Amino acid sequence: MRKFGLLLGGWLFYVSSLCAAIDPALLAPLAVDDSEKRIAAIAALAQAAPEAALPVLTALADESLAVAGERIVRVDGERVFDAASNREIAPPPAEREPISINNRVRRELAGALAALRLFSSEREVRWQAVQEVAASADAKMLPLLDKALAGETDPAIRNRLRLAHAQASLGSDDPAIRLGAVVALGESSDPKVRQLLLPLTEKRTETGVEADSAVRAAARTSLRAIEQRLAWADNLTRAFTGLSLGSILLLAALGLAITYGVMGVINMAHGELLMVGAYAAWATQSVFRAHLPDLLDWYLLAAIPTGFLAAALVGVLMERVVIRHLYGRPLETLLATWGISLFLMQVARTLFGAQNVEVANPVWMAGGIEVLPNLLLPWNRIMIIAFSIAVLTAVWAMLNLSRLGMFVRAVTQNRAMAGCVGVPTGRVDTLAFGLGAGIAGLGGVALSQIANVGPDMGQGYIVDSFMVVVLGGVGQLAGAVWAALGLGVFTKFLEGWTGAVVAKIIVLVLIIIFIQKRPQGLFALKGRFVDA
């Protein structure tokens, strides 16, 4: 039995070596100094023996293929293999002349190698290969694409292979094949496919673009279908980007809604509280990078409470030292908080420098979800939306289920009456201002994941935050949510049509008109003495 096993193993090895062998006649043109013959040899090798040709063509691309006497060899470090039989040559030949290729051959070789990787046993390799093939598929690749389609079992790769096959079929001389390819390409949502079909919609026989009327008509139909899907994808992209912008505005405006609703303070330094949270995230990242490098991808979890506490501490100091002495004097409060914002920006420049600092996304927030070829949902923006929902839920629970929340709502509706029934309005002011500042710090932590962190970063959000508060209704949580998300989505759609600057102007004008008609905002406060 042992002798039979050895014989069977030897026979299998011999058969596999024969299967892996390549006809030397197919390899010979690779050594000829003629680009046309080399390109033809590359195509013939890829079609005749896909598995055996892969190491040979890879060596040709790496310029580790050489001519040794009358045979072509593959050099792998100190070892030399016969390219036809894939057997090691011992001792290695002393004289070898490397085979060099020009850019034209290299381009053809890259396409052939991508096509050969379609037969890999690893799914990711095949997926990457089909993406490369789809970018440069032509009629010469059709035999390989047919073989790959016949053996492919993964649904996503099969669908992409069908599109690549249809793209390659556009170069066929048969109008029926081109017609089928155009119809198949009409199922795609790739902007590159649109560019392929666009020339086929016109008849230009002098250049030979497309002379068949049925193919041209099908190309127009497919083009309209692709453009409709691309338009839907663009609108979905704007909506998603608007939701992420609205989530940032919500985090910035939540704290402002609390402080403005409780104390009536127009805090012009609220944007700098976002800056404090963002710099807290950068400082936390720096600490992890220096002392906990193995846990660097989790620094953001520590940055969330750090950003909240840092911004809350700054807010409490602002309220205790300055704002408390200016209640009832809105103009002086506005000027004082504006001065504080300038002071905080200068402190940031002194401590961290005038240049932006880098806050990197953790590995688990890199990349995104590809819904369509032109619709990618980045993980960092998805996480920001989820984080905003979590913060909103926590704020709602605090305002509606806690003793502090009851005091805040009482002071917001009627400060004098709340004080008369024993609510410590001074302490509530301090805690509410600290809470609002801390929420702004959380907004800064989120903003650091999608924007530059610098001393001036908060200036771009203070006006938008006030617009959210005024539009939603002073002190109204639901109003802030609807206003922030609505402004974010509406602004992004306007930017796609008019540009960023004009969109800002239009939004501001519309809000002014709305406030003229409804001064209380989307949601008005309820209470007997609200208007007092």
Please write the tens of the pLDDT for every residue from 109-153: 777 777 777 777 788 888 888 777 776 677 777 777 777 878 888
Residue 30 has pLDDT above 60, yes or no: yes
| Top mean-pLDDT range of 224-228, 294-298, 313-317 | 313-317
**Within 10 A of 44 (CB to CB), how many other CB atoms are there?**
16
* Structure confidence at residue 95 (pLDDT): 80
* E strand map for 278-322: none
pTM above 0.75, yes or no: no
CB-CB contact of 467 with 257 (8 Å): no
CA 58 to chain centre: 32
**Mean pLDDT for the stretch of residues 400-424:** 80
* Structure confidence at residue 17 (pLDDT): 38
Residue type, 286: S
CA angle 412, 414, 415 (to 5 degrees): 80
pLDDT band at 465 (very low <50, low <70, confident <90, very high): confident
3-state secondary structure of 368: strand
| Top mean-pLDDT range of 251-255, 387-391, 402-406 | 387-391
For residue range 89-98, list pLDDT tens digits in order. 888 887 888 8
Distance, in Å, from the CA atom of 480 to the CA atom of 391, rounded to the nearest integer, reads 13
* Structure confidence at residue 223 (pLDDT): 84
User: Is 397 exposed, middle or buried, given 0-12, 13-18 or 19+ CB atoms closer than 10 A?
Assistant: exposed
CB-CB contact of 330 with 445 (8 Å): no
3-state secondary structure of 117: helix
pLDDT band at 476 (very low <50, low <70, confident <90, very high): low
In 117-200, alpha helices (H)? 123-135, 142-151, 155-169, 175-185, 191-197
For residue range 310-339, list pLDDT tens digits in order. 999 999 998 888 888 887 787 888 888 889
pLDDT band at 526 (very low <50, low <70, confident <90, very high): low
Residue 14 has pLDDT above 70, yes or no: no
pLDDT band at 41 (very low <50, low <70, confident <90, very high): confident
**Within 10 A of 456 (CB to CB), how many other CB atoms are there?**
15
**Within 10 A of 9 (CB to CB), how many other CB atoms are there?**
10
Distance, in Å, from the CA atom of 319 to the CA atom of 429, rounded to the nearest integer, reads 8
% of the chain with per-residue pLDDT over 70: 89
